[in-house]
Amino acid sequence: MDYISILKDISIYPGISGHEQNLAKHIAKIFKKHCENVEIDEFSSVIGFKKGKPGTGKKVMVSAHIDEIGLMVKSIDDEGFIRVSNVGGVDSKVLLAQEVVVHGKKDVFGVIGATPPHLLKPADAKKAVKMEDLILDTGLSAPELKRHVSVGDVITFKAEPFALGGNKLSSKSLDNRAGVVTLIGIMDKLGPMRHNYDTYFVASSQEEVGLRGANICAYNIKPDLAIVIDVCHGKIPGVSKEEASILGKGPVISVGPNLHKEFSRGLINMAKSDDIIHQIDVEPGNTGTEAWAIQVSRSGIPTLLVSIPLKYMHTVIETLDMADIKNAVKLIAEFITLLGRETEDFVCC
């Protein structure tokens, strides 16, 4: 499977939280190549299904969110400048001089303006720019702009994926399109492999604004086990090894009260016995992922979290190592084949 081509394709697709409809349709077409059944729910989450061993009656849900952070048109002034609000965790410090696309009646290209340093007062030069002070310039006059753009339209960042050295890829929206590509890889790998559990692949919506799509899907599917795939912070200078994981050293298996103790131990033991490169992360509280919502869905769902290390999260230059995706695919696909079988390490119910 050409992981990098698929990731480049879906990373540039717009899909801000609450506006994932077109992206969901695009991902559903890819899912249909690997799944027996695919549907899109009312909240634009995509659910693919692969049948397990007849008579088992057990279900596993593997989830990765498709939505991205972005901006929304807050107002348009008389000179044609747009004021913006954030959708999800956008840091205003990274927005200056960014290229963007305003998704109105038609797509309109623009830039987020920055006051030149020559015109800044010394005191202002040291201040962080606030979201409400940013202006978006499309080059159009107010009457022209208002023919195509309205208050409430969403804005995505204009960024093309590009390769870096050492098998690295940089792009916007790798959080969490990397997880979606991992889902697709697992589907493909499970094709010739025998697995006992019915497997549901969920490309979920609205994670960045409240873990909503996964919560809804977990309630509807009611799985016996959920495996969440997301990204975690990659190691960069100035960040301790306790706060970040190393790119290229494998997917990260989280342990903590949000994650099921026995299944987590079984996943780690399997990775060790099969020589699948991996890392361990301690999450003593809220993981900040869909695992937090899924764990307490209905009467409680055993949940695991596997993450892809990612540098520069929530920017347009998010960076990862493609080898970590491939190893995550291998890790989770092989684990799914063990579900429902007694092993030396643990017993799956």
Pair 195, 339: CB distance under 8 Å: yes
Catalytic residue, candidates 20, 79, 132, 207:
207
Token pair, residue 13, equals 């697709």
Pair 41, 200: CB distance under 8 Å: no
**207 an active-site residue?**
yes
Q: If you write DSSP's letter for every residue of 163-219 in order, what string do you get?
A: EETTTEEEES-HHHHHHHHHHHHHHHHHTTS--SSEEEEEEES--TTTSHHHHHHHH
> What stretches of the chain show up as alpha helix (H) in DSSP?
3-11, 21-31, 122-125, 142-148, 174-190, 212-221, 261-273, 290-294, 322-338
Pair 280, 305: CB distance under 8 Å: no
Q: If you write DSSP's letter for every residue of 77-108 in order, what string do you get?
A: -TTSPEEEEEESS--GGGTTT-EEEEESSSEE
Q: Which residues are catalytic?
A: 207
